[in-house]
Structure 1
Amino acid sequence: MRRSTTFAGTENSVGTEKSVDSTSPLNGRRALLVAVFLMEMVAATVLLWKAAPPPVSPRVPPPTPPSAASPGPVAPPDPVTSIPLPDGRSAALLALGGPHAPALLQRLGAELPDAVAAVDAFWGPDWPQHIEIAVAGSDQQFRVLAGGAADIAATTTAQRIMFAPGAAQMSPAALRIVLRHELFHYAARAQTAPDAPRWLTEGVADFVGRPAAARPGPASAATLAQLPADADLDTPGAARSLAYDRAWWFTRYVADTHGTSTLRELYQRACGPDHSDVATAVRQTLGADLDAVLVGWQHWLTG
């Protein structure tokens, strides 16, 4: 499964688009979003142009005289769809080009109400009231605007969640996990320190995003019951998947043995703006030293 991640530098059911009065705040925000993306696209284009060799001028055929039967100019579709959500939030779905973006945004929009409910259930309602989700028009655009790599399905920045074009090929279950994972990052961004342990931020995001599963049993317990290093999350392939699995199983253990509210408290103590180190946060939150918690985690995995 293509992984999702959060860009290190950061902090719906889709229906037909509503008609909006040109003077309304929503329409103004829509125009602002388009303008922001145009500026980002210009910056991205400049970066890519500087890295590319000078283009060869193609031969241009002479212009064809206009015909009386020729159709007039066609207005491009509005790239922003704004939708309300059941908990009172709103979402802007932005298509940045590519043939698969509209269908992918429709799928994301259909998953968004339940994804918001899952984040609310774990994190509470105190997070941004407006959500922005974009689908990049190309892999290059995804890399430049969102910092995404080839095997990454989505990233979260301070401004929005952005999906790679390849996410259109994901199964419904995988796309649901990625959306909820990234939506948690979006919700918790303001309360997450830049130097928070990434393995724990990713593990909790996976806890929100991934469905429960049977414990792996003795054969896998020794391999899984090891805390990953943050660097493991940046290693492509099996090492990255194992790191995410280890982080997820640790959060599953904490929630199962101490409750989801305790897992949220651990996140706030270990990842918040004034966070302590993981060992101290574990001792303060779970009432045991980290070594003892790791032993308990390994026993739990075998069950």
Structure 2
Amino acid sequence: MAPFRSSTRAVAAALCCAAVLAGCGPADEGRPGDAAVRQLLERRADAVLDHDEKAYLADVTPARRAAERQVYRNLAALPLASWSYRLLSATGGDRVTARVQLRYRLKGYDSAPITTQEALLLRADADGRPRVAGDGDPDGQLWEQGPLHVVRGARSLVLGTGDPASLKGYATDADRAVPQVRRAWGDQGWTGRVILEVPSSLRDMEQLLDAPAGTYEGIAAVTTGEAGGHGTAPAGRIVVNPEAFAGLSPFGRQAVLTHETTHVATRAATAPGTPLWLSEGFADWVAYRDSGRSAASLAPELRRDVTVSGPPGRLPSDADFAPGAAAPAQAYEGAWLACRFIAATWGADRLIALYRSGADLRGTLGIGEDAFTARWRAYVKGELA
């Protein structure tokens, strides 16, 4: 499953606001000016990259120092290649809320910087110098959720706030997933490595994804990132729900991480118009293709429906995959069987070509959607009835 992190959306309105603020007259009395806020952000970024804890904490109020010390030490554990801030807006009086754009890149894993947004709460000291007094978006980043542990696998980087020993298992599974995805998809469009973020709970996962409580209950992992990376976009992160993941069998855990790693690999080739039956079905096809398991064992919910009422009348729609949909398991199983059918009938190379085309059935497979759907329905019935 691959939802897209809201923090990567366009920020044109906020940038316009920042431009207006930059052209304003003198700051309100007691309010730090935008220039002073920008200077604070530059010092903060330099301190992170220089591993200078003293300089980092010099711009923090005494009451906030313990929390910021933990954040700093978490950041110091990351293999940062870049880290920078851009002020988007600053509002308030002596207590300022600064909306900032954060850009950072992890060395060896990101092909370009990750872009996100943060809110810093600033307070001016006696001489008007701004200092960080709080976080306007607490727990919105993994490094803000408690002590961060970093486990480096051969092909993976696991970042987690839970039990350090359990993180090694995630790295082992991710290291197995990467070569499986590379055999199916190749190396084009991604680094051949994967980053996992493992928070301590479902609640913390939903904080990272800015999602309402319960949205991802029962979902073991999701992938963040923007569709359509144009070949230079950074890889997404796999964000794990540790509560759901813990209940999976070894096969289930491996399948989930291979599925999500496929989303990371295919991200640059996934257009906004790529139907979810193709992107989700392809990820499951990669995860299951070498399993040796039967269609009936891997699609039990759809098999039950087919036995009772026959195959579905249409391909799964995007809405069928949404959290809270009536029958998401059947949607995933039907999508997987659609991709399995394509690979079995036209070959794996043609399935990949279909994905890269954005689901141009006629141009890639020489068949229209209605005819394809009819043949898929017959295939589902043959495999599951």
Q: Secondary structure at the match of 1:302?
A: helix
Amino acid corresponding to residue 159 of structure 2 in structure 1: L
Deviation string, structure 1 residues 97-121 (Cα, Å, up to 9, x no partner): 3x4x631x22222223331121111
2:264 to 186, 203, 222: 186
Map of 1:87 onto structure 2: none
Question: Closer, same or farther in 2 for the Cα pair 1:268/1:181, shift >3 Å?
Answer: same
1:236 to 316, 321, 324: 324
TM-aligned CA deviation for residue 151 of structure 1: 2.2
Structure-2 residue corresponding to 1:142: 205
Q: Residue 137 of structure 1 aligns to a residue in which SS?
A: coil
The match for 2:130 is none
Structure 2 CA distance, aligned partners of 1:145 and 1:202? Answer: 22
Q: How many aligned positions are there?
A: 242
CA distance in 1, matches of 2:153, 2:314: 42
- C-alpha distance in 2 between matches for 1:175 and 1:237: 23
Alignment check: 8 A CA contact 2:223 2:238 kept: yes
TM-score by length of 2: 0.55
Partner of 2:223: 156
The answer for the alignment partner of 1:249 in structure 2 is: 337
Contact 1:224 1:245 in 2 (8 A): no
TM-score by length of 1: 0.68
Q: Match for 2:184 among 110, 122, 125?
A: 122
Q: Unpaired segments of 5 or more residues in structure 2?
A: 9-49, 52-74, 84-103, 107-115, 121-133, 140-145, 226-235, 297-302
Q: CA deviation at 1:129?
A: 3.8
Query: How does 1:1-303 map onto structure 2 within 5 Å?
Result: 5-9=1-5, 30-32=78-80, 46-47=136-137, 79-84=149-154, 90-97=155-162, 99=163, 102-103=165-166, 105-126=167-188, 127-146=190-209, 147=211, 149-158=216-225, 159-166=236-243, 167-210=245-288, 211=291, 212-214=293-295, 219=307, 222-224=310-312, 226-236=314-324, 239-270=327-358, 278=359, 281-303=360-382
The percentage of aligned residue pairs carrying the same residue is: 30
What RMSD in Å do the two structures reach over aligned CA positions? 3.6
Q: Which has the higher contact order (CA 8 A, sep 6+)?
A: 1
Flag the 1:8–1:111 CA change in 2: closer, same or farther, 3 A: same
| Mean Cα deviation higher: 238-247 or 215-224 | 215-224
C-alpha distance in 1 between matches for 2:364 and 2:252: 32
Give the equivalent residue in structure 2 for 1:16: none
Larger Rg, first or second structure (1 or 2): 2
Deviations 1:140-184 (A, max 9, x none): 210021356112111111341111121122211111111000000
Deviation string for 1:192-232 (max 9, x for gaps)?
Answer: 12342122111111111134424659737933463011011
Cα gap change, 1:233 to 1:188, in 2 (>3 Å): same
The separation in 1 between residues aligned to 2:294 and 2:314, in whole angstroms, is 19
Letter in 1 for 2:338: F
d(CA) in 2 for partners of 1:261, 1:294? 20
Using the alignment, how far apart are the partners of 1:80 and 1:42 within structure 2? 25
Structure ranking higher in strand proportion: 2
